[in-house]
Structure 1
Amino acid sequence: MIDQTALLESQTLRSSVLDRTDVLDRVKALSLLPDGMHVTTAMVAAYFEVSRKAIESLVLDHREELVTNGYRVLAGTELTSFKEVSGFQSRSRSLALYPRRAVLNVAMLLRDSEVARQVRVYLLDMEYLARTQPVDNPVHKESECLDDRIDQRITHILGKTVVPMFNALIETSGEHRKELIALRAGVQRIERRLHQHHARLQRLEGVRDDRPAVGVMAAMDAMNGRTFERHIAKLLIRDGCTNVVVQGGHGDRGVDIIGLTADGRRLVVQCKRFAPYLNITSPDIQKFVGSAKVLYSADVALYVATCPFTPEALSIAAEAGITAVHRGVLEEWSAGEPLRILE
């Protein structure tokens, strides 16, 4: 099995597993730009929970390798065209873009990130599983199952055959008793490690209740504003709301969606599809309070955003009776968890 250290130090080994970009979402949902294909330096830093400077320093040291895997910097007319096509808004004169393959490349180079370490562990375990999985035999395919993995067969042989053989040899041997005991201990260590590895693979392959549905936020991050509003409207209808109308756009008076809750309360919603590294601030909430409470006399007011809220914004929302649906709550809501305020 490939060792993490070797993976960090060998570009050849890294290249051999770069197609397994799905492991990124298995460890943690990767938010994408509106084009649905790329992320920025700030988004990479947010995913790996490190500073932007750490990512920029890594790019400086491994730029050639990252460029090979899709990393590029846009400027001038190329950047203007990208903004027009993708809908991405930025005042910067240049923009570094990473496709998923380059993000996985970063995960295999970034040493001081727990998220990157988890990606490498998951990646190597899946690679080991792929290499040791028995080749399908059409004749016996129906009888083959998870218990047929090569590591489990070896574990069985070691425990049921090799160790007892050593026990018998030790009992009858005098001259080489010490060496045989040492060899038996080594075999037993291998047996224990294989058991541990099998348990680890079962945890990785099993359903993780604490891990959000893969791609939930990535899909929303790829939406444009109007599509995002319709998505929120569908969630409201799913949770029993009626008379739901999407009215976002010019002349919406600060409210994107109106409707009634299942028990007849007047509902208004503001939707903001912002990049995950931005924040909803107190002026944003204050503006919505006026629209929701004064213009619409709402009983239930939701401020739904794909990014976090500042502490001050959350405080004002709580005082004014606004329900702040930040990125974490939105992910759970979209994945099937009902929004309590609507019940």
Structure 2
Amino acid sequence: MINEAALLESKTLRDSTLERTEALDRVKALSLLPDGMHVTTAMVATYFEVAETVINNLLSRHRQELASNGLRVLRGSDLREFQELNLSFSSGGYPQRRSSLALWSRRAVLNAAMLLRDSEVARQVREYLLDMEYLARTQPVDNSARADRVSLDDHIDERIAHVLGKTVVPMFNALIETSGEHRRELIALRDDIENVERKLCWHHRRISGLEGEAPVDAVRASIKAMTWQAFERHVADLLRRDGCTEVVVRQARSDRGIDVTACMPDGRTVAVQCKNREGRSSVPSADMQKFAGAARTISPVDVALFVATSNFSSEAQAIADLSGIITVNRDELEAWSAGVRLKALR
């Protein structure tokens, strides 16, 4: 098992946990700049409850590692453009006249948590990461499903689809976010790769069907066995698979109906309500009203998804249609879980 000292000393081990940016909000709410993606050095210091000089020293010692995880230093025209786009913050958060500004991504802030030795908040973040790593390692593995029957070609298809969805597509999303001149070409290439991924997923399901399995039944059984916490994490993983970044699973009583938040590759914000309703026929209108109030009034977002393991009552669907909320019922959830990309995220 990874221990805290190893995280502090080993960059390789730190890199292996950097996808779990939800750890930051699980320990303490991280305030972001108006762009919804970055924080300043002063804001990082406030989060970790240390002096700003401590963070500056950390930046100096580990600049290359932090830069590889999203740290940017703006100067000249880039700094002026950023200030113009974030006037509400710049007028009260930092002086207009300055030569440079360090912007930290959530990933870079998580990186800092694994480097700060004398911050109690950073220590709690590391503890959360270690707990999640322990749970992942102790989760039982099901080796019963056709281990001796799966063909080599099918296994390769499955692995390639996994790599495309988990590595290549997110890489293109990051390039698209920062590119200007070649943005259109990158989007076209990403779409081509996603088509290949979908075809490989289809091929895998077809082979499974020929071998006597019922993939939809397997997906349905897997979802049915999930606790509500596991179901929220499952939806978060689907968002990441479809290219969303900054995915945070709240799992708190004060979520006001919003269970998962994320950011789409084009910058739009996403809020998700996850409802695991085992043994119940439909989502009632009261649940939809609560989520509509949270997603459209209390914490407005660009895309609001209500994902359920059941269907929606006619009243609930009517409220969703009026509020601009996208509903994902049981059948759509099963298709999404089986590899079909959700239309709302395209």
One fold, TM greater than 0.5?
no
Name which one, 1 or 2, has greater alpha-carbon Rg: 1
Choose between structure 1 and 2 for higher RCO, CA contacts under 8 A separated by at least 6 residues: 1
Aligning the two structures, in what range does the TM-score lie when normalised by the shorter sequence? 0.3 to 0.5
